[in-house]
Amino acid sequence: MKIPEFGDVVAAHARIAPYVHRTPLYSSESINAITGGELFFKCENFQKVGAFKFRGACNAVFSLSEEEAARGVATHSSGNHAAALALAARMRGIPAYIVMPRTAPEIKKKAVAGYGGIITYCEPTLQAREETLAGVVAQTGAAIVHPYDNAWVIAGQGTAAKEMIEDAGSFDLILAPVGGGGLLSGTALSAKALSPGCRVIATEPAGADDAFRSFHAGKIFPSENPVTIADGLLTSLGQRNFAIIMDKVDDIVIVSEEKIIEAMRLVWERMKIIIEPSSAVPLGAILEGKAEVAGLKTGIILSGGNLDLGKLPF
């Protein structure tokens, strides 16, 4: 099992730079005043496909040999990873086979199809997803790109924090949300290499607290029946992700739904940018007093901006 290192993030960055947006870093005087911190928000909601996921997918697709690439890539995902993989594959001119539960939101199905992904629908269970994917791979020979438990993907996700530190200098603290751990593990690789002394704290919805429990127990607990508005953070930690997290992440804290929604609304109202609920979890942790930022130069990864505008929580 290949555990990526910071050198892999550097290589990923060189590989994907022609394809990804170097997203801006925004600040808000009024949110600084509310929190007492000096906050910098890395706007991955402005990334292609509207989420950081494009970085990792792009690195995976462009890391394949010509021969591997020709057979295409495949994944099962109901979310941003599927759209990201479809677009990255289209950029390389190879097929992307996406297994999606038939219950996935219409907006996500449309996004994947719009990027040229070849969709196979399945029942909305993990078993059905894995079996359907195995069938697709048996037929096509496509390379499976796991949404987060994949060294290329982790290295790609780490490029967001790398850019953030390159653009704003070292940080006292970096906060990221955690679901499967792809963004978090990549962020930790970059933070610890480029900003020594920087603490990395992961933030997780209380209603999906498997990473919190896993971190504090030192072994992976699967995510079971998670209930949270932060629909990008429902998954269990991956093996590679967990290894990096135990090595490099300083703490994981949990956040209430109420504060996630409050944080999301605060960003929308004060910063005039659209972020999805998963992106609001770090600021929610600050508002809830779970992450102390007073006087600290703090970097926050806004993971994405994809959500159904017809179903807002406010």
Q: Which is nearer to a copy of itself, 138 or 314 (CB)?
A: 314
Q: Which is nearer to a copy of itself, 34 or 243 (CB)?
A: 34
Which two three-digit tokens encode residue 141?
């020979």
Say if residues 65 and 43 touch (Cβ distance below 8 Å).
no
Say if residues 268 and 242 touch (Cβ distance below 8 Å).
no
How far lies 86's CA from each of 72, 171, 187, in Å? 10, 34, 23
Least distance from C-beta 271 to a copy of itself, angstroms? 8
Contact set for a copy of itself, span 271-290 (CB under 8 A): 272-275
Least distance from C-beta 292 to a copy of itself, angstroms? 25
Q: Of residues 3, 168, 265, 292, which one binds a copy of itself by CB under 8 A?
A: 265
Site string for a copy of itself, 40-79 (x = CB under 8 A): -----xx---x-----------------------------
Q: Which is nearer to a copy of itself, 128 or 273 (CB)?
A: 273
Site string for a copy of itself, 189-228 (x = CB under 8 A): ----------------------------------------
Which two three-digit tokens encode residue 242?
């967990």
Least distance from C-beta 273 to a copy of itself, angstroms? 6
Contact set for a copy of itself, span 108-127 (CB under 8 A): none
The verdict on 269 binding a copy of itself (CB under 8 A) reads yes
Say if residues 277 and 264 touch (Cβ distance below 8 Å).
yes
Q: Nearest to residue 37, comparing CAs of 46, 26, 28?
A: 28
Least distance from C-beta 274 to a copy of itself, angstroms? 4
Q: Locate tokens 């199809």: which residue?
A: 113
Question: Is 159 buried (19+), middle (13-18) or exposed (0-12) by CB count in 10 A?
Answer: buried
DSSP secondary-structure letter at 280? G
Q: Which is nearer to a copy of itself, 1 or 309 (CB)?
A: 309
SS3 236: coil
User: Residues 179, 2, 236, CA angle at the centre, nearest 5°?
Assistant: 20
Least distance from C-beta 81 to a copy of itself, angstroms? 18
Rounded Cα–Cα distance for residues 161 and 247 (Å): 17
Stretch that binds a copy of itself, among 76-84, 128-136, 154-162, 266-274 (CB under 8 A): 266-274
Q: Nearest to residue 61, comparing CAs of 96, 28, 102?
A: 96
HSE, side-chain direction, 13 A CA sphere, residue 263: 30
- CA of residue 215 relative to chain centroid, distance: 18
Say if residues 46 and 78 touch (Cβ distance below 8 Å).
no
User: Residues 285, 287, 290, CA angle at the centre, nearest 5°?
Assistant: 40
Q: Of residues 2, 17, 24, 126, which one binds a copy of itself by CB under 8 A?
A: 24
Least distance from C-beta 282 to a copy of itself, angstroms? 17
Q: Which is nearer to a copy of itself, 219 or 272 (CB)?
A: 272
Q: Which is nearer to a copy of itself, 45 or 150 (CB)?
A: 45
Q: Which is nearer to a copy of itself, 30 or 125 (CB)?
A: 30
Q: Which is nearer to a copy of itself, 114 or 169 (CB)?
A: 114
Rounded Cα–Cα distance for residues 54 and 23 (Å): 12
Least distance from C-beta 51 to a copy of itself, angstroms? 10
Residue ranges binding a copy of itself (CB under 8 A): 24, 45-46, 50, 265, 268-269, 272-275, 305, 309-310, 312, 314
